Amino acid sequence: LYRKSASKELPSFLLLGPLGAGKTSLLTLVCTIEFANGTASSTHTSQEPQSAVCQLPPSIRSSEDQYRSENDTSARSQPKFFLLDAPGHGKLRRHAQSSFTTVSALRGLIFVVDSAAVSSAGGLTEAAEYLHDVLLLLQKRHTQGKTSKDPQAIPVLVAANKQDVFTSLPVGLVKSKLEGEIAKVRQTRSKGLLDSGIGMEDESGADEEGNWLGEYGAKEFRFTQMEEHGVEVTTVGGNVRGEGEEKGFVSDWWTWIGENI
Ligand code: GTP
Ligand code: MG
């Protein structure tokens, strides 16, 4: 799937998020260099993962570049990276999950949410369940990494997309709503485990704790609880498309990519 040898050494970022959040739109906007498998279409629900080689725009400084003087006019080549677009459809999410292990040089996850969709109960639950599961995978990866060779920490950007839409929630609210809903998901999942008897045998206590996201036993969930599990979560707003003449606004996401590349 993502095994394209030419791109192997490039740092890569993975796009995740619910149906229609704007992942493919973002991929087509920022990546014009090369598509690994044809051109991406954002007019349809994606059926297959897509990937493309992208390059940081000249206005964005990469982490390697931060010590350069503003007056340094020598040519600097902007770093290239590989962007992978995972379909949001539930049945296709296994692609995304398998790519946690198959993608080499994974530098970060970009979880795209539709800031208008999360204002509805259904949209919020869908996004929160998916994000909960993604964060739990990263947490487990970190826990396992303690015993083996420490894998590189993978930061998460929650991209609050569609800020141009009239009914969209502001970034701060997208963040707090997701945190509140993830707390509910976490509660439900742990109750589900107890009811089903999973984890009640051999390593009961350990299992329950291992499947609990963030601070064990806490009532509230905050993204900052992920830090002790080696996962840094940042929520940043933007929009891929804009109304009328307005162009999309994605430069704050670029900045995050530049910092983590
Ligand atoms: P799946 O492939 O189904 O998981 O969805 P996706 O996340 O790839 O969404 P996609 O990029 O196909 O976008 C879904 C719809 O949202 C398209 O009609 C886009 O034009 C629209 N869209 C994406 N980003 C924005 C945005 O920032 N603002 C507005 N107004 N519309 C957007
Ligand atoms: Mg898509």
Query: From the CA of 150, how far away is ligand 1's center (Å)?
Result: 36
Alpha-carbon distance of 146 to 156, in angstroms, equals: 20
Residues 6+ apart with CB under 8 A from 17: 23, 88, 110, 111, 112, 113, 127, 130, 159
Q: Please give the backbone phi and psi of residue 249, each rounded to the nearest 5 degrees, phi first.
A: -125, 105
Query: From the CA of 24, how far away is ligand 1's center (Å)?
Result: 7
Atom of ligand 1 nearest to the CA of 161: 27
- Across the range 220-241, mean pLDDT stands at 95
What percent of the chain is modeled with pLDDT above 90? 43
Comparing 125 with 73, which gets the higher pLDDT? Answer: 125
What percent of the chain is modeled with pLDDT above 70? 71
Atom of ligand 1 nearest to the CA of 239: 27
pLDDT at position 91 over 70: no
Span of 10-19, 26-35, 92-101, 191-200 with lowest mean pLDDT = 191-200
- What pLDDT score was predicted for residue 1? 44
The ligand whose atoms approach the alpha carbon of 16 most closely is 1
* Nearest CA-CA partner of 253 in 242, 241, 237, 229: 237
Comparing 107 with 31, which gets the higher pLDDT? Answer: 107
- Across the range 233-240, mean pLDDT stands at 96
* Pocket lined around ligand 1, Cβ cut-off 6 Å: 17, 19-25, 42, 45-46, 87-88, 112, 161-162, 164-165, 239-241, 248
Span of 12-16, 116-120, 128-132, 191-195 with lowest mean pLDDT = 191-195
- What pLDDT score was predicted for residue 3? 47
- Across the range 210-237, mean pLDDT stands at 94
Question: For 1-55, how does the pLDDT look when each residue is reduced to its tens digit (9 = 90+)?
Answer: 444 444 457 899 999 999 999 998 888 877 654 544 555 555 567 777 778 888 8
Query: From the CA of 163, how far away is ligand 2's center (Å)?
Result: 18
Which one-letter DSSP state was computed for residue 156?
E
Mutate to test the pocket of ligand 1, among 16, 23, 25 (most ligand atoms within 8 A of CB): 25
- What pLDDT score was predicted for residue 4? 46
Q: Which CATH number does the domain 8-60+78-260 belong to among 2.40.40.20, 3.40.50.720, 3.40.50.300, 3.10.20.30?
A: 3.40.50.300
- With left for phi above 0 and alpha for psi between -120 and 50, is residue 236 left, alpha or beta? beta
